Structure 1
Amino acid sequence: MSPLYSLEEILDIVNTQIKGIRFTQKPASLFEPINYILSLGGKRIRPALALMACNLYRNNIAAAIPVAMGVEVFHNFTLLHDDLMDRADQRRGKPTVHVKWSDNTAILSGDAMLIEAYKEICKVDRRYLEPVLNLFSVTASEICCGQQYDMEFEKRMDVTIPEYLEMIRLKTAVLLGCALKEGAMVAGAFEDDMKLLYDFGINMGLAFQLKDDLLDVYGNPETFGKKTGGDILCNKKTFLLINALADPTAKDELYSWIEKKEFDEAEKIAAVTAIYDRLGLRAKSEELIREYYDKSVACLGKVSVSDDRKEVLFALAEDLINRNV
């Protein structure tokens, strides 16, 4: 059974499709920021997953294009609003929408982007429209819950590791699971396979977000696409910070930095990173990343198609947890 698309071929399809999405409606001031954020690029992991899941069962992956585009437009909508809430000034090395335009523009253009995501999703084959819309809507709601937890955690000093993992499951992992399951769904996959692919996405998403949080501290800002240390500066409760706060030798020093209203940014980043280094938290985080990666590939291994058709997904999962950018 062929053709089997490579990741490069899948990404070419995704990027071509995204370039074909141009919002020319008026007022231009509402839609120009949407075109802008979609033009910034990115890994395009989520739409690629939808197409790869479809390709497990079909030679022709056109049926999954609406899912891929809907998921990617939705993902970028969440980034637009997340950047505003986090007061981030860069996204993929470029000014964020609220910096380039205004806070109000980021809010309203984000709202319009959410609607456009649903319009893309609604292009799927009518046979699958109801289950696709249902899962997409549940996922969208879960992502909002994850973002709310993330914001609430910034004000709490007693966040636990299980709470953190549930937050990133909702904020990040469910959209990967959704993309995979819906890609398989429109290809007519069996229910058991769809569940396994969803679970593959959940575990891969947990590993991916843990890695992202790790790179926010230890990544190269020139290749990471945004400044490192942002999570430290806004006291975001990541796996690293939650573990550090639980250590009695580090708690007081961390509290002093967290409570400071005025500080030198580079000094704070260096001081908190030094605590993480002393406690060996980078290695501890990498161990958990590997654990979720192992769970993800175990789920993928059980999907009832030949191993050669799953090679691209196996390789992508490995690349995501080994990336340094």
Structure 2
Amino acid sequence: MTRKKHAHELLGKLETFIQNLPSALELGKSPQELYNPITYILGLDGKRIRPLLSLLAYGIYKPNPEEILSQAAAVEVFHNFTLMHDDIMDDAPLRRGKKTVHVKWNKNVAILSGDVMLVKAYDLLLPTHAEKLGDVLRLFNKTASEVCEGQQFDMNFEALEAVHEDEYLTMIRLKTAVLLGFALQLGALLAGAEKDDGQKLYDFGVNIGVGFQLKDDLLDVFADQTKFGKQVGGDIISNKKTFLLIKALELAKGKDAEALNYWLSQSEFDKEEKVQAVRKIYEKLGIKAITEAKMNSYFDAGFAQYEAIHFKDEDYFLELKKITQDLIHREK
């Protein structure tokens, strides 16, 4: 089997498993308002990156990763649970180009359906062998709590005038990166990998995850609109405290600081004018290069950890590395 087939075939099996979840998890029962939103959000066009990472990490150490489709799907169900609740908190109208659950139904339905998704994620972890189930649940619970901590920090930042770089990096590590780390560690744990290798895979995932978020921050400001798939400059328009804005506020002096603070203080403005003005300040301050350097430092640290793991299947090892590199070089 070639390396391409590894990921392609696993992704196909994973997608089939996820699409069959409504039946497997008995989501068709009444009341429909509780269960239909779960089927709906799981049916949106997700990339399934997190569960695929679990399967590939398992394949590095043990044959037949499809044996852990249930546990991998638990990661995806949990991830979509967080999206459903995040969309409520962010009052987001769209998710992957479709109406969010709270818009299509209502907020109360979205809250309750999300709660059931979390319960069902535990159901999907239950096929784990008894001797490993305790460790899996402990790591899952730790990760779930940290994701919630990250979301709370993100909401706290909305009310703060200033956020320090370290605070922001901690927030994105918790909100985004730890779930990537857990997905990889889960696959290694279920495959019986050495604890040290599992930890390196976790650290690899966390570092790559922080790098991914910094990449998203960068793309939001400097992406090619024709490739990005959504409005460029959305973070600027909403005054979102991204790494770029935090560094700009730290470095801007004189007229640059005045101009930046002016745009941050305006409640009514021309969106395109604001995006262009703030981007111009970023370019003058070299914010793009600063962000790229920080982003690459996380990617470099992650791959250094990845290269240090002991693997049994080189094909899966190389495939996991390639998929991660492809994500790093994305333009949308």
**TM-score interval, smaller chain:** over 0.9
**Residue of 175, 179, 195 corresponding to 1:175:** 179
1:24 aligns to what?
A: 28
2:207·2:299 contact (CA, 8 Å) conserved in 1? yes
| Residue type at the aligned position of 1:100 | K
Q: Give the SS at the match of 2:251.
A: coil
Q: CA deviation at 1:225?
A: 5.0
Deviation at 1:40, TM superposition (A): 1.1
Judge which range, 15-24 or 301-310, deviates more. 301-310
Q: Paired residue for 1:234?
A: 238
| Deviation at residue 58 of structure 1 after TM alignment | 1.3
The one of 249, 258, 282 equivalent to 1:276 is 282
Deviation at 1:296?
1.1
TM-score by length of 1: 0.93
Aligned to 2:199, which of 190, 195, 201?
195
- 137-146 vs 254-263, which moves further: 254-263
Q: CA deviation at 1:251?
A: 2.9
Report the count of equivalent residues.
324
Render the CA deviation track for 1:224-268: whole Å, top value 9, x for unaligned.
454443322332211111011112333332322222233333333
User: Any residues of structure 2 matched to 1:213-292 within 5 Å, and which?
Assistant: 213-219=217-223, 224-249=228-253, 250-292=256-298
**1:169: how far off?**
0.7
CA contact (8 A) 1:63 1:187 kept: no
The one-letter code matched in structure 1 to 2:319 is V
The amino acid of 2:324's aligned partner reads A
Partner SS state of residue 221, structure 2: helix
Where in structure 1 do 4 or more consecutive aligned residues deviate above 4 Å? 2-5, 220-226
Partner Cα distance (2:273, 2:108) in 1: 33
> 1:212 is matched with which residue?
216
Distance, in Å, in 2 between the alignment partners of 1:221 and 1:32 is 34
Question: More deviation in 11-20 or 130-139?
Answer: 11-20
1:3 offset after TM fit, Å?
8.4
CA distance in 2, matches of 1:77, 1:226: 23
- 1:197 alignment partner AA: L
Distance 1:11 1:251, change over 3 A: farther
Match for residue 318 of structure 1 among 307, 312, 325: 325
Whether the aligned pair in 1 keeps the contact of 2:2 and 2:315 (CA below 8 Å) is no
Matches within 5 A, 1:36-47: 36-47=40-51
After TM superposition, list the pairs within 5 Å mapping 1:139-178 onto structure 2: 139-178=143-182
Query: Which consecutive unaligned segments of at least 5 residues does structure 1 have?
Result: none
Q: 1:55 to 1:78 in 2, by over 3 A?
A: same
Letter in 1 for 2:17: Q
Secondary structure at the residue paired with 2:278? Answer: helix
| 2:65 is the counterpart of 1:61 | yes
* 1:86 CA drift (Å): 1.7
CA 282–69 in structure 1, closer or farther in 2 if over 3 Å, else same: same
What is aligned with 1:302? 308
Q: Secondary structure at the match of 1:6?
A: helix
Q: 1:3 to 1:323 in 2, by over 3 A?
A: closer
Where in structure 2 are there 5+ consecutive unaligned residues? none
1:186 equivalent in structure 2: 190
After TM superposition, the structure 1 = structure 2 runs for residues 93-112 of structure 1, keeping only pairs within 5 Å, are 93-112=97-116
Q: CA separation in 2, counterparts of 1:7 and 1:154?
A: 39
Quote the Cα distance in structure 1 between the aligned partners of 2:109 and 2:316: 43
Letter in 1 for 2:283: D
CA distance in 1, matches of 2:237, 2:119: 33
Partner of 1:8: 8
Aligned-pair distance for 1:275?
2.3
Equivalent AA in structure 1 for residue 41 of structure 2: I
* Identity over aligned pairs, percent: 49
